[in-house]
Amino acid sequence: MTNIVKVIKSGLSTTIQDLGRTRHQIEGFPESGAMDKFEYQLANLLVNNHKNDASLEFVMTGPTLKFECDSFIALTGGQMHAKLNGQRILKNRAIQVNAGSILECGPMETGNYGYIAFSNGGIVTQPVLDSRSTTLRTQMGGIQGRALIAGDNLPIRDSVIMPSLQSRRIDWDVETSNFIRFVKGPHWQMFSDEARKQFTQQSYRVSEQMDRMGYRLNGTPLPVPSKNLLSEGTVFGNIQITRDGSPIVLLADRQTTGGYPVIGTVIKADWSKLVQMKINKDFHFIEVDMDTAMNALVAHQKILNDNYEKWYQGRYVEPIGPLRRNSIKIERLIKNNL
């Protein structure tokens, strides 16, 4: 049986992503990778994958897929309408999928980004610079460096084994908040007291100028430092202030270097909240120190670690779920011949 998933409908900007080209930004290549790294890793964890196995990322509306092999999937990210063979399925749980099944992922009610993980190693396209992530503006990775289109075939490995299948679920939803925490950026002191005070006291909204490169924020423009800067390396979450005083938060497909002053950097524990924030939702920035940022990250990671440990410990607890490949195939063969 061919080990592929066929794309019937592509959804909106559906791409193959992993954790990105983290070691190649110094060579001038965008890091790329999943926009919401927490939800991406959660999807992989649910189907017993390595955290860096490639999955699908989509924006607002997901794809329709036909499975030509057996697999297990997990959907994470914003709240979405999803159906498997016409029956509603829920996100944040491992779901068994048989060959011939059709998965439909409709519009999302909350959040901006959704993820579909496939068991037994995810999507096995050819890596480019140590990553399967798609970078649209450089046409790298994924399938010919582009978003999916109808008729594409996604190569996966068939899978009929999943320990702790019944317990692989988590009560979790996209984080929503009216604040985003940040640490001072390298150019914090270049901004006037007035600009720093305004930055932390006023409300912002994500504008319609939002994509994988970054989110431009709407708010009262800040006074901008007059000093010219040399270009410096960028990181996910950098808050650059442009010449017109508007903040841009740099994200997965950001440029590798930038010359705008960086007033702050969004802490890693709040990346998911920012990436999933809807257009025109009011929020404000809160400054925190490095200790607070690290503690928040540890607490965030603990959610993944605790659930992994729970599922691992429960792998032999009834109901065990599919564990033995040959016995499952024999059982199906017998049923088909009755």
DSSP letter string, 127-163: PBTTB---BTTTTBSTBTTB---TT-EEEB------T
Q: Tell me the CA distances in angstroms from 252 to 1, 142, 246, 297, one per residue in order.
A: 36, 15, 20, 18
d(CA 257, CA 260): 10
Q: Tell me the CA distances in angstroms from 133 to 20, 52, 155, one per residue in order.
A: 6, 10, 14
Task: Output the six-digit token pair for 152.
Answer: 């594409």
d(CA 318, CA 290): 44
d(CA 132, CA 116): 15
d(CA 135, CA 123): 16
- Chain center to CA of 303: 16
d(CA 184, CA 264): 4
d(CA 119, CA 30): 27
Which class for 102: exposed (0-12), middle (13-18), buried (19 or more C-beta within 10 A)? middle
Task: Output the six-digit token pair for 240.
Answer: 């650059």
Cis upstream peptide for 319 (omega within 30°): yes
- DSSP letter string over 265-303? EE-GGGHHHHHTPPTT--BEEEE--HHHHHHHHHHHHHH
d(CA 147, CA 139): 9
- Which distant-in-sequence residues (6+ apart) come within 8 Å of 144 by Cβ? none
Instruction: Please report the pLDDT score of residue 1 as a whole number.
Output: 45
**Domains of the chain, each with CATH number or no CATH:** 4-171+306-336 (no CATH), 179-288 (2.40.100.10)
- Which distant-in-sequence residues (6+ apart) come within 8 Å of 237 by Cβ? 182, 249, 250, 251, 265, 266, 267, 268, 271, 274
Q: How many CB atoms lie within 10 A of CB 151?
A: 9
Pairing of strands 179-184, 284-287: parallel
Instruction: Please report the pLDDT score of residue 28 as a whole number.
Output: 92
Instruction: Please report the pLDDT score of residue 8 as a whole number.
Output: 98
> In which residue ranges of the chain is pLDDT below 70?
1-2, 316-338
Instruction: Please report the pLDDT score of residue 230 as a whole number.
Output: 85
d(CA 258, CA 45): 34
Instruction: Please report the pLDDT score of residue 313 as a whole number.
Output: 82
Predicted TM-score (pTM) of the model is 0.92
Q: Per residue in 145-195, pLDDT tens?
A: 999 999 999 999 999 989 888 899 998 887 778 999 999 999 999 999 999
Instruction: Please report the pLDDT score of residue 227 as a whole number.
Output: 81
